[in-house]
Structure 1
Amino acid sequence: MKKITIIALAFISQIAFAQTTRFIYQLTMKQDSTDQNNIKTEMAYLDATPEKSVFYGEKRLQRDSLIAKMRETRGGSFDRSQMQNLRSDIDFTIEKDFKTGTKTYSSRIGRDQYSYDEDRPMDWKILSETAKIGDYKTQKAETQFAGRTWYAWFATDIPIQDGPYKFAGLPGLIVKIEDAKGDYSFDLKETKKISSPTVFEQRGNIIKVKRTVFNQQLEKFQKDPTSFSPPSPPMSMSGNSGGMRVQTNPTQRKEFEQRMKDELKTKNNPIELK
Structure 2
Amino acid sequence: MMKHILSLILILLVSLNLSAQGNRFTYEYQFRIDSTKTDSLKKEFMNLDIFPTKSYFYGQAQYASDSAMNHSIIQQRKSTPNSISYSSTTDEWNVSYLIEKSYPSFKTNWFTNIEQTNMIVEETPVLQWNILPETQKIENYNCQKATANFGGRTWEAWFSQDLPFTDGPYKFQGLPGLIVKLEDKTKSHQFLLKGNKKLKAEDHSWDYILALQNEADNEFQGVKVNPAQYKKLFMSYKNDPAKDIKLDLANPNNSMTVTTESGAKLTSNPEIIKYFEESMAKKYKTVNNQLELNLHRK
Tell me whether the two structures share a fold, i.e. TM-score over 0.5: yes
Q: Deviations over 1:148-204 (max 9, x none)?
A: 110000010111100000000000000000001111100111112223696797634
Task: Check conservation: 2:242, 2:280, Cα contact below 8 A.
Answer: no
- Would you tell me which structure has more strand in proportion to its own residues? 1
Q: Which residue of 1 aligns with 2:55?
A: 53
| 8 A Cα contact 1:119 1:211, kept in partner | no
**Could you tell me whether the CA contact under 8 Å between 1:111 and 1:229 is conserved in 2?**
no
Gaps of 5+ in 1: 1-17, 231-247
Distance 1:156 1:112, change over 3 A: same
Match of residue 291 from structure 2: 271
- 1:64 deviates by 1.1
1:137 aligns with 142
Number of residues paired by the alignment?
239
Task: Give a deviation string over 1:109-162, Cα, whole Å, max 9, x none.
Answer: 222211122244101010011111112010000001111110000010111100
Q: CA deviation at 1:256?
A: 7.3
Q: What displacement does 1:257 show?
A: 7.3
Check 1:78–1:205 CA distance in 2 against 1; reply closer, same or farther (3 A cut): closer
One-letter identity of the residue aligned with 2:142? K
1:151 maps onto 2:156 in alignment: yes
Question: Are 1:193 and 2:198 matched, yes or no?
Answer: yes
Unaligned runs of 5+ in 2: 1-19, 247-255, 261-265, 267-271
Q: Distance in 1 between matches of 2:191 and 2:277?
A: 31
Paired residues for 1:204-243 under 5 Å: 204-228=220-244
Structure having the higher helix fraction is 2
Alignment-derived partner of residue 91 in structure 2: 85
SS, match of residue 205 in structure 1 = coil
CA-based RMSD: 2.9
Contact 1:110 1:229 in 2 (8 A): no
Using the alignment, how far apart are the partners of 2:128 and 2:229 within structure 1? 24
In structure 1, the partner of 2:184 is: 179
Q: Which amino acid aligns with 2:177?
A: G
Moved more, 172-181 or 248-257: 248-257
* Identity in percent: 34
Structure-1 residue corresponding to 2:258? 250
Equivalent-residue separation in structure 1 for 2:125 and 2:23 (angstroms): 27
Deviation at 1:258, TM superposition (A): 5.6
**Deviation for aligned residue 1:225:** 2.5
Whole-angstrom distance in 1 between the partners of 2:293 and 2:183: 15
**What is the aligned counterpart of 2:126 among 121, 125, 130?**
121
CA change 1:71–1:257 in 2 (3 A) is farther
